[in-house]
Amino acid sequence: MSLKSKSGKARAYLSVTPGIGLELIQLDLNSNTVANYAVRELAYNESSREIVDYDKFKEAVASMYEELGINPKIEVVINMPLVSFGTMQLGLLLPDDAITGAIQGEIEQTYIFRRSEPTLDWVDVPNAASNTPGKETRQVLYSAIQKAVIDKLSEKLMELGSVLVGVENSLSSTFRALEYMGVTAAQMEPNTTWNLLVVNSVGYSITSLSGKNVIEYYEEPLPIKSFEEDEIYDAIAQSAQIALSSYPANYLYVISDTDSVSAEALISRLNVMGTIDFLENNAFKTQESLIPVSLEVLQSYASKISLQAIGCALSDVSDFPLKFNYMHSTSRKSMEPSITFPIGEHEIVVTKNGALYAALGLVAVLAIIFGLLGYVIIPSATKDMQGKVDKITDELNAVNAELETMQGKGDVANFDLKREVEMGVKNNRSKLMNYVAAGESIPQDVWLTYFMTQGPGYVDIQGGANDVSSVYVFFKNMRDSLIGTKLKLQKLEMDSQSVDAAVAGAGTYSFEITNMSESELKALHNPDAAEGEEGGENPEGDAPGNEPPEQGLLGDQPIQ
């Protein structure tokens, strides 16, 4: 039995699934069941992210074709374990080839792609505040796999008479399967924040989403198999607890892809806000199969069917927006809606970003024209400006001379005037940099209600937003602009007048971004209460750096 794709051609779906092997699956979408399924052992090197023996791969595919009565002259889509995935902020006016080059330069720093040429694909993040007019950056999601892997897979399938038409990654396949099964329907509602934590045999990953839109991705390697008994749960919980604090959300969904870790046991050790749910994609699952199977599927096989195999089989019919095309990575696509204009026998597809880039390009051309027109007045303007610069330089020299005179009169043992002046200038410069970064980073749908920054490096920002995506973009922009400040998203919650408003996603969101500890925040916002605790003593000791910061940007009052 061979199922057909939307193009009408017979198609089979393969999944290289570590811990299971090589799966072949075909779904019957009319009955929502697994129509065909077979599995074979296949070694996969998770360090080099590659199949160990491609001849064994070919033998396994041929054996499953024969078992299921599939004609080898068939199209094949294959799911591969995730190799590289991430997000980047790039210039708004960069052409597609420049964006591809920037991403390639980033991923070639990883050990896998230092010795293997990558094939990559990227998509614009939909509804990202950085992609709106007036902003100079755009946010993209990217993913890559070794080009040699695709070439070898295509070669071995071609030797069997099959044609490789698509390569999927395990993360995209997992999301498609979750959506199809309906187990994360509440999490995938628009403007609902949730995190997906996936544990595999080499570590864990956290994907932060708003509805179906990926906002952030974080990956942490851990030697899962080196731990004994319950040690692994404590190790993952302690590590993930810290990472999850940067991605506050309404839901946490935990999936375990390894037989070494039970997702159910892991969530009992996680102390996070929001609703927690789990799914066992391993030997710990209690159901016979993740989805119903036909009578054609052997019962011994049913329990092995993985999320990745199900998601791969849905690659042609699912509209889940996280989609990468490794087979044609030079072709560009966007996850945002588009409008098609028929012109004669041709059609022109225009996206919102495309129209924006065209408008910005026109503005840039006009700016160049006006710049050339104003070229004749530059010499006189330069001369006038040089006079002002010389005047300021003379005044600065006079101030420096006066500082040196005053420093000679001061008590060097107790007061260093020059050092104090330099410290004041440095602190004020730091405050101004923080304030400028906030002004340049804030998205259109975000407003600030409180802004505090101090010379020693303290930052506390509070505000609101119309949607969660804008909060995450503002947080990421601030973190990227103020390198070294160790900012964290301290709070993110919905403000709604009623339960109905919250469910409908009509409410607003309040947030707090800071690099201060809870005790410092408490001392800042409620100094009287902080002084009254423990007899007025500092609960964290008298060590330098524990004193609450003074208020205000450049003065004594915060900017609100």
Give the highest mean pLDDT range of 111-120, 472-481, 487-496, 543-552. 111-120
| C-alpha span between 353 and 361 (Å, rounded) | 12
Summarize pLDDT for 320-370 with one digit per residue, the tens: 988 888 886 433 444 444 454 555 544 454 555 556 656 666 766 776 776
Q: Do 510 and 462 meet the contact criterion of CB atoms below 8 Å apart?
A: yes
**With 80 as the cut, is the pLDDT of residue 204 above it?**
yes
The pLDDT value recorded for residue 553 is 42
Least confident of 100-104, 129-133, 169-173, 473-477: 129-133
- Cα angle 322-270-525, degrees, rounded to a multiple of 5: 95
Lowest pLDDT segment from 98-112, 160-174, 394-408, 415-429: 415-429
Strands (E), 269-375: 275-280, 338-343, 346-351
Which range has the worst mean pLDDT, 6-10, 113-117, 150-154, 328-332?
328-332
Per-residue pLDDT band at 538 (split at 50, 70, 90)? very low
High-pLDDT (> 70) share of the chain, %:
74
Give the integer Cα–Cα distance in Å for 74 and 436: 58
424 with 554: CB under 8 angstroms?
no
| Average pLDDT estimate for 476-489 | 79
pLDDT tens per residue across span 22-46: 999 999 988 999 999 999 999 999 8
Q: Which amino acid is at 435?
A: Y
More confident residue, 256 or 300: 256
Spatial strand order in the sheet of 203-210: 213-221, 203-210, 193-200, 251-256, 275-280
Residue-level pLDDT at 194 = 95
pLDDT for res 190: 92
User: Where do the structural domains in the chain lie, given as residue ranges?
Assistant: 11-336, 341-409, 411-536
CA distance 281 to 284: 8
51: which 2 tokens? Answer: 């199949």
What is the Cα–Cα distance from 102 to 331, expressed in whole angstroms? 16
- Non-local CB neighbours of 249 within 8 Å, separated by 6+ positions: 193, 194, 195, 208, 273, 274, 492
**What's the pLDDT score for residue 528?**
66
